[in-house]
Amino acid sequence: MSAPPPPPLLAPEHVELIARGVSTIVASHDLAHRPSLMRALGSTITPDGRQVTVFLSRRQSRQLLSDISSTGHLAVVFSEPASHRTVQVKSRRPRLRAAQPDDAPALARYRQAMTHELSLVGFAPAFAQAMLAGALEDLVAVSFEPDEAYDQTPGPKAGRALGGDGGTA
C-alpha cells in the first residue's frame, strides 16, 4: 500500500487568488543561468491547488519556452494589482503543449478578470486587452505541480514558505 500524497502546498486562499485570474509572470533560465521571463496571457489552477497551467505567447517567449524545455526550471508569480497580494510557486516538472480550442473559455475568463483587476488601478479595458492580446494558435500551455510556494505579499511575511517548514524566496 503506497503512502498517501503529501498535503497541497497552497492553502485555499492562495488557490482562490490564482483561480480568480490575477497578474501572472513566468520565469526560467538557460544553461548559463541567465534568467528569462514573460507575462502569461492566462492561467488556471485546479481546485485542489495541485495543477497549475500558465499560457505563454510563443512570439513573446521564445527564450523562456526554450529554457523551460531544456532546464525544467520554472517560477511563476501571481499578484493581485490592487492589493499587492502575491504568491510565488516553483516547479521542476513542467509539461508543455500547444493551446487547444477547449482552452479558449479559460483564456477568455482570465482576460475578463484581468481587465477588471486593471480597471481597479486605473487602466481602461482597451489597455488590458492590448496587454493580454494573443491568438490561440500562438499560445503554449505550461502545466506543473508546485514543488515550492512562497508568500510574497510585501511586508513582514514576504518570502515565507507556504505548506512547508522553512526556506525563503
Partner 1 sequence: MSVALTDIRACLEGAIPGVMATCASDGTPNVAYLSQVFYVDERHVALSFQFFNKTRQNILVNPQATLLVLDPVTAAFFRLQIRYLRTESEGALFESMKAQLAGIASYAGMAGVFQLRGSDVYEVQAIEPLDGSPLPAPPARGGHLAAVRRGSERLARCGTLDELLNTTLATLSDALDIPHAMVLMMDAASQRLYTVASAGYPASGVGSEIALGQGVIGVAARERTPVRIGHFTSAALYSHAVRRSVQADTPSLALATDIPYPGLAEPHSQLATPILSQGRLLGVLFVESPLDLRFSFEDEDALVALAGHLGAAVDLLQSAPDTAEAPGETAKAPPRPPGLAAAPLQLRRFASNDSVFVNDAYLIKGVAGAILWKLLTDHVQQGRTEFTNRELRLDPSIRLPDVSDNLEARLLLLQRRLAEHGPDLRLERPGRGRLRLQVARPVVLQTVSG
Q: What cell was used for 104?
A: 479558449
DSSP-assigned states of every residue in 117-136: HHHHTT--HHHHHHHT---G
| Contact status: 106 vs partner 1 (CB under 8 A) | no
Contact positions with partner 1 (CB under 8 A) in 120-149: 121-123, 126-128, 130-131, 133-134
Contacting residue, 5, 6, 13, 59, with partner 1 by CB under 8 A:
59
Cα separations in angstroms, 6 against 30, 50, 159, 163: 30, 11, 22, 10
Choice between 12 and 112, CB closer to partner 1:
112
Helix %, strand %, coil % of the chain (to 5): 30, 30, 40
Q: How far is the CB of 109 from partner 1 (least distance, A)?
A: 20
Question: Residue from 7, 12, 16, 35 that binds partner 1 (CB under 8 A)?
Answer: 35
Shortest Å, Cβ 25 to partner 1 = 5
